[in-house]
Amino acid sequence: MSQMEVIAELSGVSMRYGAVEALSEVSLSLKAGEAVAVLGPNGAGKTTALSLLTGLKRVQDGKARLFGRDPRRPATRRRIGVTPQEAAFPPEMKLGELLDFARAHYPAPMDREEIIAAFDLDGLTGRMASSLSGGQQRKLAVALAFCGAPDLVFLDEPTTGVDIASRQRMWDFIGRYKQGGGALFLTTHYLEEAEAIADRIVLLNEGRVIRSGDVEAIRGAVNVRVLRFEAEAAPDLPCARLTGSEGGRHAYLSSDADESVRALVRSDTAFAGLEVLPASLERAVGELLAGDAS
């Protein structure tokens, strides 16, 4: 696939469930080799968008396309992998058997041992899937989405309950998958995960796209900066709120970093190691959602 090829797309899509408008004229797209994180609070429409692109729901208004075709066509869906928000496994099947069963549905699946290593499943292949811990089951659910070497993977809250080391290993694997031309549609409440994986962010609220762009664009979309410096005591600064102090290093959130820094320089405070940083993605998303609500 060409890196410029749009392989998944919603165009002007609206969806209603009774009186609830789940999506309102939503348009988004995904190219080969790209990871798009769709973020937003519960009920924003993230899972509905995913369900439309994977063919689980029929579009009411607008258009959904997967590899240029109707997502509900079985032949089209053979090119994707999916990890739903909640996954249940047959109680009588072992982890290794589930991997083999899933791989058998694809013409050129990933190597079995590569999948086991990538998702930290070593030593678990003989275990009944239903007896695994929550974090182990989640790793298996994500491994099943990738095991067929699909062109596009949909991940709905993929690393909930997964330990930090395994999560990092999964992120590393996803990076290699993207480098090989694979595409990723991600929903997550872990904003650190979106920063680690996504090339582009689409922010949904109440069924509408309120902002989209790369991570830096989203972080820069709010007029909030982080100020950090070392001082014996934390001074009061205009336009700034102290958010934490540890070991003589203080952190502020400022709505006017220039004015806050000028006041710090004019004050009698002896300080060192001043940093002025963009807001974190988590803070930026929170500010954008709060601004949309107002």
117: domain CATH number is 3.40.50.300
pLDDT at site 1 = 54
> What are the two backbone dihedrals, phi and then psi, of residue 167, each rounded to the nearest 5 degrees?
-60, -45
243 has a pLDDT exceeding 90: no
Question: What is the pLDDT confidence band of residue 184, given thresholds at 50, 70 and 90?
Answer: very high
**Is 65 part of a structural domain of the chain?**
yes
Q: Residue range 85-109: average pLDDT?
A: 91
Whether residue 250 is found in the same domain as residue 181: no
pLDDT at site 293 = 60
Q: Residue range 68-80: average pLDDT?
A: 92
Whether residue 144 is found in the same domain as residue 104: yes
Whether residue 249 is found in the same domain as residue 163: no
Whole-angstrom distance, CA of residue 88 vs CA of residue 23 = 27
Whether residue 176 is found in the same domain as residue 196: yes
Whether residue 175 is found in the same domain as residue 42: yes
Q: Residue range 136-152: average pLDDT?
A: 94
Whole-angstrom distance, CA of residue 279 vs CA of residue 168 = 23
Whether residue 36 is found in the same domain as residue 102: yes
Across-strand partners of 211? 203
Q: Residue range 209-223: average pLDDT?
A: 86
Reading the block at residue 24, the tokens are: 């309102």
Whether residue 242 is found in the same domain as residue 210: no
Whole-angstrom distance, CA of residue 103 vs CA of residue 122 = 17
Give 26-71 pLDDT, tens digit per residue: 999 999 999 999 999 998 999 999 999 999 999 999 999 999 999 9
**Is 185 part of a structural domain of the chain?**
yes
**Is 101 part of a structural domain of the chain?**
yes
Element (H, E) at 213: strand 208-213
pLDDT at site 282 = 82
Boundary residue ending a domain (181, 198, 219): 219
Reading the block at residue 84, the tokens are: 């739903």
pLDDT at site 87 = 83
7 has a pLDDT exceeding 80: yes
Whether residue 155 is found in the same domain as residue 203: yes
pLDDT at site 286 = 83
| Residue 279 CB contacts under 8 Å (≥ 6 apart), including other chains | 219, 222, 224, 225, 226, 253, 287
pLDDT at site 2 = 54
State the residue for tokens 């694979």.
182
Domain count for the chain, please give it. 2
pLDDT at site 148 = 93
Round the average pLDDT of the chain to a whole number and report it. 91
Strands 183-187 and 35-39: parallel
pLDDT at site 50 = 94
Residue by residue, DSSP assigns 138-174 as HHHHHHHHHTT--SEEEEESTTTT--HHHHHHHHHHH
pLDDT at site 294 = 56
What's the domain range around 210?
6-219
What does pTM read for this prediction? 0.83
pLDDT at site 285 = 86
**Is 290 part of a structural domain of the chain?**
no
pLDDT at site 198 = 93
Reading the block at residue 181, the tokens are: 């031309």
pLDDT at site 290 = 79
Whether residue 121 is found in the same domain as residue 262: no
92 has a pLDDT exceeding 60: yes
Strands 208-213 and 183-187: unpaired
**Is 262 part of a structural domain of the chain?**
yes
Whether residue 112 is found in the same domain as residue 243: no
**Is 165 part of a structural domain of the chain?**
yes
**Is 251 part of a structural domain of the chain?**
yes
Give 246-278 pLDDT, tens digit per residue: 999 999 988 899 999 999 999 989 999 999 988
**Is 288 part of a structural domain of the chain?**
no
